[in-house]
Structure 1
C-alpha cells in the first residue's frame, strides 16, 4: 500500500482518539433500516453501551440481508435510508451520548445482477475500462480463449445449450445495447455494437429516386444511412480494449466518446421511425441466427460459462469461492482513495467514530492498508500522526483476523486489535471439561464410525477446496510460478503439474491462515518458520502418498515464498508471487476449516466455532488467564465477541452443548438408546443411510443446543431442517451447494421432522434439555460476565442480552423483539436487588436473568471507565470450578466471580451452584474492605483479603464485586 502519512507538527498535539467502552452490534437490512435502528437508540443508551456497531452501511445488492455484497463504497445504501438516514441516526446517537462504529468491506465487491457500475464498465470495455484496475483480473491466463476476457460463470447450463434454447438475446434500450440472459442484462462491447449498427443499416429502405425529372433522391434515407454508418465507424475506431498503450486519459476519453455516440444514436432513434424499424429488424435477425449471435457474443470482453464448471478457469480473484463477489485491488492507491473517500468524509463530519474491517486477510498488504487507513483518518480528523513515532492511532479500528492457537496479532499493525474471535474461542473452551475428552471422543467414534482426527479432516478439506472450489485461483498462481521457474535454469524443468501439486500440498499443510510478507522483503517475525513448517509437512505428506513429487520442487517453492534469492529483479518477482500466495492460503483455510472440516468433525459442536480449533478440547484456566493478561498489555482495546453474524452457533447454544462434556456417560446412553429409532426414521439409499451417521449425530447435538429454554419448540423443526440442509451441504459428503442431491436432502428433511415428531424421542430430548438447562444457563451467564469485564471492548450481538440460541446464518439474523427487551429493562432500572435477582433466577428460562447481568455489568463499566479500559488483570485461583479475576486501576477494584463446570460441582443434585455446594473454598481478593455485588446489591465485608465462596455465592450463582 502506497500512502503518504501527514507530517507531524509540533504546534498541534494529537487529539485523544475515541475508544469505545462497549459496543452493541446491529444487523441492518431494508426491513431494519436507519430509521428503525434510530428508534431503539434510547434503549441501547439505557442498557449502558457506549457505541452502536453497525453492519455494512454501503450500497449493496438490492435486497441484501447482510450488506457484505457492497456494490459502491462511495455511497451509503439507499435501502437503509441513504446518507440522510445515516446522518439522522448518528445525530440521534450523539444526543444520547452514543458513538457509531461501522463495518467496512475493503476486500471485495458484489458484482451480481448488474448492480455494480464499476464491474459493468469492465464487462463493457475490458482492459480499456476506467475501472479495470479495481479488480484482480488475470487478463493473460494460460487458456488462450480467455486472453483479454473475464470468465463470467452466470449460465445455468452449458453455453451451447443456452444459446440453442434461445435464452440469450440482444436488446437495445435508450441507445445502449445489452445481451439479455433472463433477468441479467450484460453490456455489449463497443466493437460489437458496430456490427449491430452495420446490420441495422442493411435493413434501412433503399433510397428512392423520384420519377419527376430534375427531382433529387429521398434525402432523409440517405442522411439516416450516413449517420448510422458514421456511428458504426466511430464505434469501430475506438481503441481496442486489449491495447496495452492506453493511459488513464485514453480510457476516460474512450468512455466519454461512447457516451456521445450513445446519445447520438438515441437522438436518431427518437426522430426516425425508419431507424427504429431497421434496428428492431436487425436485432430480431441476429437473435434468430445462433451463428451470428455467437459471433457477436464472442466479441465481448467476457466469456459466458456454466457456473458449475467455471471454477477451474475463473480468472478474477473472488471472495472465497463466491462468483458474485469479486476481490478488489486495494493495494492500488487509486482504488484505496476512491473506496475510502466517503468513509473519511463521515469520519471528518463526526458521523462515525470507529471502523470494523471485514476479512483483512484477503488484502494484498494488510499492514500497509492499516497504515494508509490511519493516515487518511488522521487527515480527515485534522490531527498529526507519525506512524514511526508511536502514540495513539487516530481512529478506532479493529480487524477481523482469525488467530490459530499460539498465533499472535502482529504488534506493528495500525489497529486496536481483532474483532474478538480469538477471545471467543478462549472463553468458549473454559466451559468444556477437558478431563472427559477421551470418553466424548469414544461416543462420537462409535456412533459415526469416524476415525480421523480433526487435523486429517482439515487437510482433506483444504485439498478439496483447492480442487473443487478454488482451482482457478490455484491455476493462476501456479502459472505465475511456472513463469518464474522458466526464467531460472535450475528450476525450468519443473512441470506445470508438479508445481500445481506442490502449491496445493503446501497450502493444505499451512499452519496458519496466512503470512505477512511485504513487497520490500520485510515480514512478521516467525513468517519464515511458518513457511518452513508448511514445506516440511508437505514433504512428509508427499512421502505418505508414495512420493509422487520430487522433494526439490517443495524446496524451490519455499525459496520463492521466502524470497531467498540474491538479485533484486528476481526478488521483486518472487515477492509478487509470495504476496499473491498469501492471499490464497486464507480463503483455502477458511473454506477448508470453517465451511468443510467443521461440518465433517462433529465430536463436540460447541468447539466447532469461528476462531476455534475443534482439536483443542477446552481451555485451561491458566491459558485463559495468560491470554487475558497479554491482551491487557498489548491490545487493551481489542473487541471481545460472544456471538456474531458469522458464528456457527449463538453463545448460549454453545454454552448448553458444552455441558455434554461433563456428562459423557449420560450423553452416550442417550445416543445408544435412540440409535434404533434414528435408524427407523432413516432411509437406505445407494450411497448409504440418509441421513448419514455424521449428519444424525450433528442433528442430535443441534436439536439439544437449540431447544428453546422456554420449552416451546414451535418453529424448531423448521430451524433444524434449514440448519441440517446447510450443514450437510457444507460437509460436501452426501450433498453440496455445487451438486445438491435432492433425494438425500428430502430424506434429511423427513428425518429431522419425523424424529422430532416421534413422541418417545421428543420426550427424551425434552428430558435431556431439562437436565442440562440450568447448567447451560450458568455457562452462558458466566461467559457473559467474563466478556463484559475482561480486558478489551465487549460487544453484545443484537438480542444477546437475552438468551441467544441461534444457529448459523441466516438463523442468527432473525428479528429481535426490542419492545419486550425495553419492558424488561424498565423493570431492571428500579435497581439491582437480591429479591429481583432471585426472582429472575427462578424464571431464568425467559432470559431476564441474562439481561440483568448484561445491564449491571455495562452500568458498572460506565461508572468506572478507567478501571475497565486501562485496568490491570489479575487471575484469582479458587479451584477448577471458578473463573475469577480482578481488574485494578488507581485504587479502584472489581472482581469477577464466574462459576464453571457446575453440573460436576453440584453432582446434579441442585440446579445452581449456590451456598454450601462450594464447601470451604475461599476466594482470595487483592484487597480488603467493603465490596458490593452489583448484580444483587449485596454487600460483603472482606477481612484479610479472603472470603468464603459459599458466602459470596450463597443466594446468586454469579458475582461482580466492586470495592466501595
Structure 2
C-alpha cells in the first residue's frame, strides 16, 4: 500500500492524552474520522487505535491479523483511511497504533502464509515464520502441524461426511465448515490416478487428454518433497507445482471426459455415510498432508505450534527472525515514515522470544528513518502491554516510555480501598462462602491446573527438552523425565512474576536472578518429598550456567530451552491468575483487575506518592489507564465497589439479608445450591457496580438482565469450578440465569429489590466521588492520561464483550456542545446543575474536558513538572489526597477526596461544604501565601492563610461547591482567570 501524494511530514511529539478507539466492521475509518472534532474539544491529543491491519473476516478486535501488509478492508477503503489521517492532522492530533507482534490469525483459512505452510510443510517459504516444532515429542507428527479444528473425534467427523474433498482451479482442497485446507500437489496423485488404470483399459489410452493426465501424474511424482530444504530444490518445487496446477485447470476445462472422471473420483473419495470402508481413500489422502486434523480437545496435550495463550486460532510467529520482523512491520514503518502513525503500543510483549531485542530494533529503525530522530534518546514513542506484579518494574534497558497503564490503574484503585477493614472482609467472606481462601495458594493451584488442561503440550515439550539436556552430563543424567517435568511445572506454578528476560549468562539482571531463586525456593517448600537436586539443576539451567565442558551445540540447545521456558511462564500466569483465580476469589472484586493483586487490600497515600515520584523520574510518558478493552470491569464499577471496603458492617448486614430472602429463588443440583455462595457473592457486588443511573433496568426490555446473565455465565465458566468453556454444565448455568431473572423480576412483590435499591443508591453516590477523584488524579499525575472509548461518561461496563459494545459518540458530542453553551449562562449555575444532576454523567464529562484542556494549555507543567506530595491537617485529613506539579515557576495542585463512605456516613451526597470537612485542610509549600489559587473547575480564587508559619488552605473552601479540584497558582494582584483566558476551541 502506498499513499500518493505522501502525507506531510509531522514532527514527532509526545502525547499529552490518548483516547482508545476499537475499530471493527461496525466502526471503521470513516466513523473514527467523525468523532475527532469531539475528541479534540475534549482535550485529547492522540488517538490510540486498535490494530487495523487485515484480520480474519468478521474480526471484532483486530488481533487476528492475516496480512500485515494490508489495511483491513472491513474497516474501509484506503481513501477513507487517508481522510481519517488528514482529519487527525487538521486537529493537530497524533495516532498511536496497536501492534500485534507475537501472533497471527489462522482461522477460516484466511492467512496466506499459513495456507502456504499447510500445503508445503517444512519446505514452505513460511515454515520458519511460525513457531512450530517440526520434530515434536509425538513421532507421528514429525514434519506435520496438528490442526485441532474438529468438533468431534476425527473418525466420527470423517464418517459423517463433514470433511469433503473439492476441486478448484487446478488444485484440490478439503473443506470443513468455514475451513478450506490445501491438498499437497504431490499427494494429489492419489486422486488423479484412482481408477485410471481400469479406465485406460477401456480404449482411453490413445486419448490425448488422458495422455496429458498421465504426464501430469508423472510430473507430480517428480516434485521435490515437502521436507526438502535445499534452496534450489525448494524453488523448483514452487515453480513446478504452479505449472502443474495450470495444466490441470486447462485439461479439466478442455476435456469433459477428464472432468467427469475427476468428479466421480471426488465422489468416491468423499465416501458414503454408513459405509466406514468407503472413507479409506480420503483417510489415506489426509494422512499424506503436512497437517493432521484433530479433535479440538486434543490441542492441550499434542499441539505443536505455539499459540497466543491457549487460543488455537492464534499462531505465534518468530519475531526474532529478521525476515519476519521486516515483513510484519513493512506497512507500519511506512505509516510511521509518512507521519500517519506517531507512536506504537506493543501488544503482549512478554510473548516475544527476546522483548528487549525487539524493542531495540524498533528504535534503531526509527533512529535511521524518522525525521528529527536525533533529537531524542528514544525517537519512537513506544509503550508496551506488560503486567507488573507488586514491587516489579520494567527492565531499565528497554527503550520504551513505559507500560500501557495497568500498574497505574491498580495503584490508583488501591487509594480508594480502606486498608483498615481487611480482616473484617476476610472474616465475612469466609463465613458467607463456607471456607477461607488464600489467594496465593489459589493462584498456585490454578496455574498448575492450566498446565495440566490447557497448556500440557507446552509443558511436555519443555520436559523433553530438559531431559535431553540432562542426558548431556553424567551429573544430571539420572534425573528422570517425570521428575524434570514435575520440577518445571512446580517452578512455573511458584513463579512470582509473569516472566524473566535472561538472554546471556554474563548479563543476567539481578531482578531475574532473584525471581528465579524465589520461584525455586517456593517450589522446594511445596515439594518436600522431591529431592532438591532436581530443582537446583533446573535453576542453574534457567540462569544459563553452562557446564565447563559444554559444546557450542549444547549451549544453543540450552539457550533454546531457557527462551522457550520464559515464553511459557507468562501465559500460564495470565490463564491461572487473571482468567481463573480472579473469577473464584471474590473478597472484594474491584481488586480483581488485570495487573492487580487481590491479596493486596488497598494502599496508603505514602506508597502512592513514592510511586508517583519514581514514575515522574523514570517514566513520565507512560500511559495512565483506568479502563481498557481488557479490564475485568469498568472504571466506575470499580469506583463503586471500592466503597464497600469502608462499610463492612453495613455490607455484611445487606448481603445476609439479601441472601436470606433469595434462598427460595435458588435451585438445588445434586443437593447443592445453584448458584453457590461464592458465585452469589460475586453477583451482588456486580449488581451494585453495574446498576445504571438513568434508567430502571428492571423495567426495560431485559437488556440489563441479559448483560448480567451473560457476564455471570462467562465468570463461572472462567472459574472452572461448576462449569467451563471446555465442558459446559448447562444445568448449573441455567440455574444461575434463572436466579438472576428472579432477582430482577418486577411483577408482584420483590423484597430483594426493596432492600437492594436503597443500598445501591447509597453506594452509587460514593462511587461518583471515587470516580471523579480517580479521574482528576489521572489527568494531573505523572504519565499520559488514557481514556477508553466512551468513558468520558459513566462507565458501568463489565468484561468483554460487554465493554466492546457500540459507543454513542453522537450523544457525547452533543453533550460537549451543550456544556459549552451552558457555560455562557455562568459557571456557578452550571456547577450547581452538574452536581445536582450528576447521575446523567455530564459532571464526569465536564471534569474530563476542563482538565484535559487545562493540561494542553500547560503541557510543560504536566510533562516535565516535579511531583510534590502535600500533607493535610485536621481530623479528616485521611479522607483526601493532594499533590502539586511544579515547573518553571508554575504550579498546579490536585486535591481530591477519598474514602468518602466513612466521611459521609449514610448521607447519599457528595463530599462538599463545611459540614463535611470541618477544620481539615492542606499544608502548602512555604511562600504559597503570596499567591492565589484558582480552581479551574469552578473559577473560584482561594487565598492561603498563615498559621504558625505554615500556609494553609481549608478543604471546606476547596470543596465548597464541587467535589474535586485542580488549583492553578496565580499572582494575587493579577487575579488571572483561567476559564476566561482559555475559551473553548
- TM-score w.r.t. length of structure 1: 0.94
Say whether the 8 Å CA contact 1:203–1:282 is kept in structure 2.
Answer: no
Hey, what does 1:911 align to over in structure 2? 909
Hey, what does 1:18 align to over in structure 2? 13
- Where 1:709 maps in the other structure, the secondary structure is coil
> Following TM superposition, by how much is the alpha carbon of 1:704 offset from its aligned partner in structure 2, in angstroms?
0.9
Hey, what does 2:737 align to over in structure 1? 749
Residues 336 and 521 (structure 1), Cα distance of their counterparts in 2 relative to 1, 3 Å cut: farther
Hey, what does 2:922 align to over in structure 1? 923
Q: CA–CA distance in 2 between the matches of 1:892 and 1:766?
A: 47
Say whether the 8 Å CA contact 2:350–2:386 is kept in structure 1.
Answer: yes
After superposition, give the CA deviation of every residue in 1:365-404 in whole Å (9 maximum; x if it has no partner). 000000111122233315566xxxx952111110000000
Q: CA–CA distance in 1 between the matches of 2:234 and 2:966?
A: 63
Q: What does 1:759-838 align with in structure 2 at a 5 Å threshold? A: 759-830=750-821, 831=823, 833-838=827-832
Residues 520 and 915 (structure 1), Cα distance of their counterparts in 2 relative to 1, 3 Å cut: same
Hey, what does 1:7 align to over in structure 2? none
Hey, what does 1:148 align to over in structure 2? 143
- Where 1:526 maps in the other structure, the secondary structure is helix
Q: CA–CA distance in 2 between the matches of 1:94 and 1:790?
A: 27
After superposition, give the CA deviation of every residue in 1:829-867 in whole Å (9 maximum; x if it has no partner). 244823212211110101000001100110001100100
Match of 1:864 among 824, 846, 858: 858
Hey, what does 1:564 align to over in structure 2? 545
Hey, what does 1:716 align to over in structure 2? 704
> Following TM superposition, by how much is the alpha carbon of 1:783 offset from its aligned partner in structure 2, in angstroms?
0.2
After superposition, give the CA deviation of every residue in 1:178-198 in whole Å (9 maximum; x if it has no partner). 112123211112221121122
Q: What does 1:589-600 align with in structure 2 at a 5 Å threshold? A: 589-600=573-584
Say whether the 8 Å CA contact 2:137–2:464 is kept in structure 1.
Answer: yes
Say whether the 8 Å CA contact 2:688–2:763 is kept in structure 1.
Answer: no
Q: What does 1:342-741 align with in structure 2 at a 5 Å threshold? A: 342-382=331-371, 391-519=376-504, 521-543=506-528, 547=529, 549-565=530-546, 566=548, 567=550, 569=552, 570-686=554-670, 688-713=672-697, 714=700, 715-741=703-729
- Where 1:40 maps in the other structure, the secondary structure is helix
Match of 2:102 among 79, 101, 107: 107
Hey, what does 2:258 align to over in structure 1? 275
> Following TM superposition, by how much is the alpha carbon of 1:686 offset from its aligned partner in structure 2, in angstroms?
2.4
Residues 857 and 160 (structure 1), Cα distance of their counterparts in 2 relative to 1, 3 Å cut: same
> Following TM superposition, by how much is the alpha carbon of 1:742 offset from its aligned partner in structure 2, in angstroms?
1.3
Match of 1:286 among 269, 282, 300: 269
After superposition, give the CA deviation of every residue in 1:143-176 in whole Å (9 maximum; x if it has no partner). 1111111111011111111112122221111112
Moved more, 511-520 or 734-743: 511-520
- Where 1:729 maps in the other structure, the secondary structure is helix
Moved more, 286-295 or 614-623: 286-295
Residues 747 and 240 (structure 1), Cα distance of their counterparts in 2 relative to 1, 3 Å cut: same
> Following TM superposition, by how much is the alpha carbon of 1:67 offset from its aligned partner in structure 2, in angstroms?
0.9
Q: CA–CA distance in 2 between the matches of 1:138 and 1:268?
A: 39
Is 1:846 the counterpart of 2:844 in the alignment? no
> Following TM superposition, by how much is the alpha carbon of 1:255 offset from its aligned partner in structure 2, in angstroms?
2.4
Say whether the 8 Å CA contact 1:191–1:299 is kept in structure 2.
Answer: no
After superposition, give the CA deviation of every residue in 1:75-130 in whole Å (9 maximum; x if it has no partner). 11110114433222111110111111111100011111101111111111111111
Hey, what does 2:976 align to over in structure 1? none
> Following TM superposition, by how much is the alpha carbon of 1:869 offset from its aligned partner in structure 2, in angstroms?
0.9
Say whether the 8 Å CA contact 2:224–2:234 is kept in structure 1.
Answer: no
Moved more, 74-83 or 806-815: 74-83
Q: What does 1:37-56 align with in structure 2 at a 5 Å threshold? A: 37-56=32-51
- Where 1:684 maps in the other structure, the secondary structure is strand
Residues 223 and 707 (structure 1), Cα distance of their counterparts in 2 relative to 1, 3 Å cut: same
Hey, what does 1:886 align to over in structure 2? 884
Say whether the 8 Å CA contact 2:299–2:312 is kept in structure 1.
Answer: no
Hey, what does 1:3 align to over in structure 2? none
Say whether the 8 Å CA contact 1:923–1:947 is kept in structure 2.
Answer: yes
**Unpaired stretches in structure 2, ≥5 consecutive residues:** 1-8, 272-277, 971-985
Is 1:266 the counterpart of 2:234 in the alignment? no
Q: CA–CA distance in 1 between the matches of 2:551 and 2:907?
A: 72
Q: CA–CA distance in 1 between the matches of 2:322 and 2:77?
A: 26
Residues 234 and 640 (structure 1), Cα distance of their counterparts in 2 relative to 1, 3 Å cut: same
Hey, what does 1:231 align to over in structure 2? 216
Residues 846 and 124 (structure 1), Cα distance of their counterparts in 2 relative to 1, 3 Å cut: same
> Following TM superposition, by how much is the alpha carbon of 1:551 offset from its aligned partner in structure 2, in angstroms?
1.8
Say whether the 8 Å CA contact 1:786–1:896 is kept in structure 2.
Answer: yes
Residues 910 and 145 (structure 1), Cα distance of their counterparts in 2 relative to 1, 3 Å cut: closer
Hey, what does 2:896 align to over in structure 1? 898
Hey, what does 1:306 align to over in structure 2? 295
- Where 1:670 maps in the other structure, the secondary structure is helix
Q: CA–CA distance in 2 between the matches of 1:140 and 1:671?
A: 56
Q: CA–CA distance in 2 between the matches of 1:628 and 1:271?
A: 76
> Following TM superposition, by how much is the alpha carbon of 1:592 offset from its aligned partner in structure 2, in angstroms?
0.5
Say whether the 8 Å CA contact 1:432–1:661 is kept in structure 2.
Answer: yes
Residues 317 and 829 (structure 1), Cα distance of their counterparts in 2 relative to 1, 3 Å cut: same
Say whether the 8 Å CA contact 2:609–2:869 is kept in structure 1.
Answer: yes
After superposition, give the CA deviation of every residue in 1:701-753 in whole Å (9 maximum; x if it has no partner). 10111011224213221110000000000000000011111111111111111
> Following TM superposition, by how much is the alpha carbon of 1:943 offset from its aligned partner in structure 2, in angstroms?
4.4
**Unpaired stretches in structure 1, ≥5 consecutive residues:** 1-13, 209-217
> Following TM superposition, by how much is the alpha carbon of 1:487 offset from its aligned partner in structure 2, in angstroms?
1.3
Match of 1:95 among 90, 93, 96: 90
| Equivalent pairs, count | 931
- TM-score w.r.t. length of structure 2: 0.92
After superposition, give the CA deviation of every residue in 1:224-270 in whole Å (9 maximum; x if it has no partner). 22221222222222222223x333x5434422322221111111111
Moved more, 662-671 or 941-950: 941-950
- Where 2:131 maps in the other structure, the secondary structure is coil
Say whether the 8 Å CA contact 1:515–1:524 is kept in structure 2.
Answer: no
Residues 384 and 910 (structure 1), Cα distance of their counterparts in 2 relative to 1, 3 Å cut: closer
Say whether the 8 Å CA contact 1:203–1:281 is kept in structure 2.
Answer: no
Residues 113 and 625 (structure 1), Cα distance of their counterparts in 2 relative to 1, 3 Å cut: same
Q: CA–CA distance in 2 between the matches of 1:521 and 1:364?
A: 18
After superposition, give the CA deviation of every residue in 1:298-320 in whole Å (9 maximum; x if it has no partner). 00111111111221111110000
Q: CA–CA distance in 1 between the matches of 2:235 and 2:404?
A: 40
Q: CA–CA distance in 2 between the matches of 1:365 and 1:250?
A: 33
- Where 2:402 maps in the other structure, the secondary structure is coil
Q: What does 1:196-215 align with in structure 2 at a 5 Å threshold? A: 196-199=191-194, 201-202=196-197, 204=199, 208=203
